[in-house]
Structure 1
Amino acid sequence: MTKTSLALPLTPFLVVLLAACGQQPDGAGGPGGHGGSPPVSVAPATQREVQEFDEFTARLEAPDTVEVRSRVAGTVEAVRFKEGQLVRKGEPLFTIDTRAFRAEVARAEAQIAALKTQAELARTDLARSEKLVSANAVSQQEIDQLRSALRSAEANQKGAEAALVQAKLNVEYANVTAPVSGRTSRANVTPGNLVGVGDPVLTTVVSNDKVYAYFDASEATYLKYMRSAKPAATAVQMGLSNEQGFPHTGKLDFVDNRLNPATASIRARAVFDNKAGQFTPGLYARVKLGGGSSYQGVLVPDRAITTDQTRKIVLVVGPNNIVQPRPVTPGALIDGMRVVDGIKGGELVIVDGLLRAMPGAPVTPQVLKVDDKGMPIPAAPQGQPGAAPAAAPASAASK
């Protein structure tokens, strides 16, 4: 009975005490002392000199890719290279049996000798007959026939000489040589196989002193670079799939003469030195083109840009820490920073906590440190070794 009687009068007192504990002075409630304003991370917009560039994916190709085929039919006698080796133009690759071709050379030479004798005889007969014309011992018809016989003999001799040239070429073609300097592929035939004219492909040789990187650029990119006075002199940087960044430098040396209407893109090509043999045709590569002259631009972290229906906006922390939505026009993306038009350098933009920030409402901003490129540096968790002290709110920093 005693415990029950004490509990009843204390209940209103506890209610009043608990309510009093929940009261706070004006302006002291919530994080940061702003009456419950949500915390957000902000970073200053960076104004600096900007050099725009565009990145593309590319495939490497050799300037010269030649399928080596036989120009005569015959039996392969020898393969005179090691598969995959570097060869110079004119070095032997395959040897085909030349006995039949040498016999044809001998036959053509013998035919030329016989026809030469016939031509000399026709020439002598014509000269003898022309001396008898004045004595009317030979008719004009006989003279015309002798002249025709001489011209026919001379023509046959020239035909035989052409056949001899072809026979000698066949002997030369039987020694298959490298058409260009480069690296050989595997040998597709071995000694003893019979090959025809142009079939099969004996091997493939690709040049390796230079390499081409082919890529497709959009119509907008094409128009931007065509404004340059010397688009072909545009520097191009390249990186392979296992490389960081773009360590290799070349130049743009070709742009196609029309756009592909199906993809609204145009094929372009950059050339790189490959004397060290580090590039292999067919490799995937990343290429980067510098976009003309530099200019002063304002950059914000790309994640700070959000969408409001059909427009892009950035949330700016204005006076009294009030959130102001600012429409912007995004530009190039450079190292995670986006070039924007509509923001001034030094203005504080919200980069983290966008969902907690409401336009026209106050927030509790925490200013993040930035690196030399303007990219915010994530703050280390409090209480851990090496953690930096929490950044002061923008309102306190302004005071």
Structure 2
Amino acid sequence: MNMITHIKAEEPHLSDASPHPSAARRWRRAAFGGLPAAALLAGLVIANSETAPPPPPPVPTVTVAAPLVRQVTEWDDYVGRFEASQTVEVRPRVSGQITGIHFADGQVVRRGQLLFTIDPRPFAAALAEARAGLASAQSDLSLARADLSRAESLIADQAVSRSEVDRLRARVQAASAAVAAAQARVRSRALDLEFTRIRAPIGGRASDRRVDAGNLVAAGDAGSLLTTVNALDPIHFSFDVSEALFLKTKRERSNGGVAEIRLQDESEYRWKGRLDFTDNGIDPRSGSIRGRAVLSNPDLFLTPGMFGNMRLGSGGTVQALLVPDAAVRTDQARKVVYVVAKDGSVAAKPVAAGPLVDGLRVIRAGLTATDRVVIAGTHLAQSGGKVQVRIGKVQPIHTQVGPPITAPAAAQATLAP
């Protein structure tokens, strides 16, 4: 029974024609609280109607596309520094006074180029003395041989004893030994004289001179350091490899890989080389092994001690599935991508993500080439929910590999004339 019916049932049968019309009006005002007629009618209609359910939320729209299938080359990243392929400390092999310097500091020198001169006069005198000693020894040897020859011709006539012949033979042998010793002294003194002209043992860039003309220098391993020469073409790039990466490269590559390096202010890997050496053991303290790549450096631009980022290829290409990096989401400790079925239902697929290639993430496992991956609107997709799809396309985004090139700002500036 509704409210209106209920009120009518309890209303006294009074009318305006009743002998007590004022009593009827008082009853109506008491029953309805003195409300206006419009408000009363609205309240009655609302009370008599049922509550309508809220409208369903709109189905979100997302963009989907199949993964991009491409051949990619995978690289491992390393950090290292350049080193000279050869480094030689130039030290004197004889002691004496520096009388000449024949190169400029920092000059590129060739092998055999004259760098320093030590006063040669003492060594020239010693060589002359050794040659005189050699002449004397050769004269003694000639006399000993002549005496032996005469004695041997008289021994048949028994004009000389056999013991005398033996003594003369021993004298010839001693004289021959003296000649050999004199010849060795001549060669030694000639070397000393040659060592007064100090030449570059290798080709490369020389450091600055450590002594000036007029200084006395000492010979030997602990002697005076004159300069150093670094061979820069080719140049080496030294880096450390973790045990995990070392095992990976050992299994994937058998004959060395291609190395590409970029410098601190470069965005591209423009320096090409190859891996030519790995150490013979892993350092137990760091768990890493030392590796080395060799690069051509014809213009000597690369300098020892320079820092670089290197990527090392496995020597081949693999077919990979690529999706936008934003499509790969993190769900606790795993990586997932959202895929949409034909009925519009969304599912989260765990995947094994690989490296980034032109803004696209390599998917190693967990995805097929026919899956419809959510590439835009991933924040609207929920596993188990429904979505409307808009067909898109996965395309590479060519971005610079490294940080933007920033040159140090000038410390000062002046007005140009």
TM category, shorter: 0.7 to 0.9
1:239 aligns with 2:268: no
**Aligned counterparts of 1:68 and 1:192: Cα–Cα separation in 2:** 18
Residue in structure 2 matched with residue 182 of structure 1 by the alignment:
204
Unaligned runs of 5+ in 2: 1-33, 400-417
* 3-state DSSP of counterpart to 2:353: strand
What is the CA distance between 1:342 and its match in structure 2? 0.8
Asked whether 1:212 is paired with 2:241, we answer: no
User: Which residue does 2:374 correspond to in 1?
Assistant: 349
Distance 1:309 1:299, change over 3 A: same
Question: How far apart are the structure 2 equivalents of 1:311 and 1:202?
Answer: 61
Structure 1 residues 255 and 83, CA gap change in structure 2 (3 angstroms): same
Superposed counterparts of 1:86-97, under 5 Å: 86-97=108-119
Paired with 1:112 and 1:194, the residues of 2 have a C-alpha distance of 31
Task: Give RMSD over aligned pairs.
Answer: 3.6
- What is the aligned counterpart of 2:352 among 321, 329, 337? 329
Alignment of 1:103-142 (within 5 A): 103-142=125-164
Structure 1 position 26 matched with structure 2 position 59 = no
Change (3 A) 1:159 1:337: same
Distance 1:254 1:228 in 2: 16
Q: Which residue identity does 2:277 align to in structure 1? A: F
Distance apart, 1:80 and its partner CA = 0.8
Q: Work out whether 1:270 is the aligned partner of 2:293.
A: yes
The 5 A counterparts of 1:250-269 are 250-269=273-292
Cα distance, 1:344–1:229 mapped onto 2, change above 3 Å: closer
Change (3 A) 1:68 1:12: farther
Distance 2:350 2:395 in 1: 26
CA distance in 2, matches of 1:73, 1:283: 36
Matched, 1:280 2:309: no
2:88, 2:306 → 1: CA distance?
18
So what's the TM-score if we normalise by structure 1? Answer: 0.77
The 8 Å contact of residues 110 and 200 in structure 2, kept in 1 or not, is answered as yes
Among residues 95, 99, 102, which one is paired with 1:73 in the alignment?
95
Distance 1:372 1:12 in 2: 67
> What TM-score, normalized by structure 2, do the two folds share?
0.74
Once the two structures are superposed, residues 137-160 of structure 1 have per-residue CA deviations (whole angstroms, 9 ceiling, x without a partner) of 322222222211211111111111
Kindly tell me: are residues 352 and 56 of structure 1, through their superposed partners in 2, closer, same or farther at Cα, counting changes over 3 Å?
Answer: farther
SS in 2 for 1:359: coil
How far, CA to CA, are the matches of 1:87 and 1:12 in structure 2? 109
Q: How far apart in 2 are the matches of 1:222 and 1:339?
A: 22
Deviation at 1:55, TM superposition (A): 2.2
CA–CA distance in structure 1, aligned partners of residues 345 and 185 of structure 2: 96
1:372 aligned onto 2:396 = yes
Q: Report the secondary structure of 2:367's partner residue.
A: coil
Give distance in 1, aligned partners of 2:42 and 2:126: 127
**191, 203, 225: which is aligned to 1:201?**
225
Report the Cα distance in structure 2 between the residues aligned to 1:271 and 1:321, rounded to whole angstroms. Answer: 55
